[in-house]
Chains A and B, each alone.
Chain A
Amino acid sequence: KQEVTQIPAALSVPEGENLVLNCSFTDSAIYNLQWFRQDPGKGLTSLLLIQSSQREQTSGRLNASLDKSSGRSTLYIAASQPGDSATYLCAVLEGGGADGLTFGKGTHLIIQP
């Protein structure tokens, strides 16, 4: 059974710093990997989706990498801002892409003004 682990569970950094969030998964036979943002009591906002054949995706200050063979992904956030404070979730999609997502527990990020 696929398991997704996110490290660290929580992170607090001063504004302006660059930071890296880590995600690992136990079964490398994934269809794609997705990073989400979740604000308290809210739903999910999709940040980046990386197909299994891709190595990375970029959107603005966010860059996500995927090393499928080692079962790892990182989310890099450049020049962090207080508005980036949220919980960041990593999720993998298995099978032929028809299944539900398997999520990690998330990294709770606080950017100090």
Chain B
Amino acid sequence: GAVVSQHPSRVICKSGTSVKIECRSLDFQATTMFWYRQFPKQSLMLMATSNEGSKATYEQGVEKDKFLINHASLTLSTLTVTSAHPEDSSFYICSAKPLRNSNQPQHFGDGTRLSIL
């Protein structure tokens, strides 16, 4: 089955640090990848849609200069949390979709637990 690898699984770092999270589709090409965030006891919220070769589309209230997304290839999207602060501590999870506008489901990575001290 389709596998999405997300790395790292856990990050603990000091306030002001920039953190990069990678999302890779291992056995399929993904023209579209999604980044979600989940705060404790809350639902997963879509942050942005990452399209290969073009700029990401951000959801309302998500700062594009804070959360940099790069989707340079059909198998890799990266999310960089710039100058992270304690309020950015959350569970970040990506998903990848093989084809745009297809009936195929999104496949999720295992998530990244980010803790900013």
Contact = CB atoms under 8 A, between A and B. Distances in A.
Contacts of B91: 41
Interface of B: 6, 32, 34, 36, 41-46, 49, 59, 91, 93, 95, 100-103, 105-111, 113
Interface string A72-113: 000000000000000001010000111111111110000000
B108 to A, nearest CB: 4
Contact of A97 (B44, B59, B102): B102
Contact of B43 (A42, A96, A97, A106): A106
Nearest to A97: B101
B49 A103 contact: no
A51 B44 contact: no
Interface residues of A, number: 24
A21 interface: no
Given A32-B103, A97-B102, A99-B49, A4 B43 contact: yes
A64 interface: no
Interface of A: 4, 32, 34, 36, 41-44, 46, 49, 51, 89, 91, 96-106
Contacts of A32: 103, 105
Contacts of B45: 103
B103 A105 contact: no
Contacts of B113: 41
Q: Is the interface of A mostly helix, strand, loop or mixed?
A: strand
A100 B49 contact: yes
A105 B41 contact: yes
A101 B105 CA distance: 10
A39 B77 CA distance: 24
B46 A100 contact: yes
Contacts of B43: 4, 89, 103-106
A44 B32 contact: no
Contact of A101 (B41, B46, B100, B109): B46
Given A32-B103, A34-B105, A101-B106, A89 B44 contact: yes
A76 B105 CA distance: 21
A43 B111 contact: yes
Contacts of A41: 91, 111, 113
